[in-house]
């Protein structure tokens, strides 16, 4: 039974890693949405911490660190503080957390299908990011998904491609570390147990295998059709989580 559990985790993270390898993002979103179908959301969130950090390290490097930090630090601080300190609106109920997750996934999928043109916020003050960061921290605290509204906000800054990739890596690293702090006291996570350690190793192995495959497939699949298909998958997973929560 334990081997089957680890095997499923490995497969889920391989899929999530492949999506990240193809698109440059999406590992936490895919992993949590799939794991949330059969695992308590707190456990799913805890499992993604190490794979998310490990796969974001290379994405954090680059020549844009100083200007990005100068522009985005209020948002990063807001993400961290709100993620750690936000009240648990769902209490200990897995169905409440699953409902939040389902709603966010459905909204993210619809956003991906609609692909509206975001307003240009490049001339706005840095503190606009604090508002987006605080909202992202709330979503992260309730769902372990940290793409909304932070990714649209970064798009609104009109960053050039390399800076955008680095900004995503740095931002996701901040959010993942904050999530780890929030989850450390969760009674649903058996931190330090042999079983948990083996499951995390399976998640890491799957994430890196999928990441390598995704990078190979990037040129063939990274396009409008793939993005639309992925958005439809998120809508479907969101609906499935909402049904399970009901």
Burial of 124-154, coded b for 16+ CB within 10 Å and e otherwise, reads eeeeebbebbbbbbbbbbbbbbbbbbbbbbb
Classify residue 39 by its DSSP letter. S
Say if residues 165 and 62 touch (Cβ distance below 8 Å). Answer: yes
Distance of CA 29 to the CA centre of its chain: 4
What is the distance between the terminal CA atoms of the chain, rounded to a whole angstrom?
A: 27
Q: Phi-psi bin for 91: left (phi > 0), alpha (psi -120 to 50), beta?
A: left
What's the pLDDT score for residue 122? Answer: 86
pLDDT score at 94: 65
CA distance 14 to 12: 5
Q: Tell me what pLDDT residue 159 has.
A: 92
List Cβ neighbours of 216 (8 Å cut-off, separation of 6 or more).
Answer: 21
Longest dimension (CA), the chain: 55
Q: Is the pTM of this model over 0.75?
A: yes
Q: DSSP labels for 99-143?
A: HHHHHHHHHHHHHHHH-PPPP--TTS-TTHHHHHHHHHHHHHHHH
Q: How many CA atoms lie within 13 A of 40 on its CB side?
A: 14
| pLDDT for res 221 | 65
> pLDDT truncated to tens, each residue of the chain (246 aa)?
678 888 999 999 999 999 888 887 888 888 988 888 888 778 888 899 999 999 888 788 889 999 999 999 999 999 999 999 998 754 446 677 788 888 998 998 898 888 888 888 888 877 899 999 999 999 999 888 888 899 999 999 999 988 998 999 999 999 999 999 998 866 666 666 778 889 899 999 999 999 998 888 877 765 677 778 888 888 998 898 888 876
* 230 vs 164: CA distance, rounded Å: 20
pLDDT of 223 reads 66
* Among 31, 242, 229, residue whose Cα is nearest residue 147: 31
149 upstream amide cis, omega within 30 of 0: yes
pLDDT at 100: 86
pLDDT at 136: 96
């Amino acid at each position: 039974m334990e081997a089957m559990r680890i095997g499923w985790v490995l497969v889920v993270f391989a899929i999530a890693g492949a999506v990240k390898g193809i698109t440059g993002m999406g590992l936490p979103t895919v992993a949590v949405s799939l794991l949330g179908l059969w695992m308590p959301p707190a456990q799913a969130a805890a499992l993604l911490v190490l794979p998310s950090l490990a796969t974001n390290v290379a994405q954090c490097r680059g020549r844009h660190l100083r200007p990005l930090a100068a522009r985005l630090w209020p948002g990063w601080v807001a993400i961290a503080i709100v993620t750690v300190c936000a009240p648990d609106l769902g209490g200990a109920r897995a169905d409440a957390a699953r409902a939040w997750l389902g709603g966010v996934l459905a909204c993210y999928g619809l956003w991906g299908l609609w692909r509206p043109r975001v307003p240009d916020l490049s001339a706005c003050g840095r503190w606009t990011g604090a508002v987006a960061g605080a909202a992202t921290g709330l979503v992260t605290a309730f769902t372990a998904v940290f793409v909304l509204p932070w990714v649209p906000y970064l798009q609104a800054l009109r960053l050039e491609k390399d800076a955008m990739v680095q900004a995503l890596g740095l931002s996701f690293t901040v959010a993942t570390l904050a999530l780890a702090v929030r989850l450390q006291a969760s009674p649903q996570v058996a931190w330090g147990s042999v079983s948990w350690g083996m499951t995390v190793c399976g998640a890491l192995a799957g994430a890196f295998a999928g990441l390598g495959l995704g990078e190979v497939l990037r040129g063939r699949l990274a396009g409008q059709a793939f993005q639309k298909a992925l958005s439809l998958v998120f809508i479907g997973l969101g609906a499935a989580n909402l049904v399970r929560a009901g």
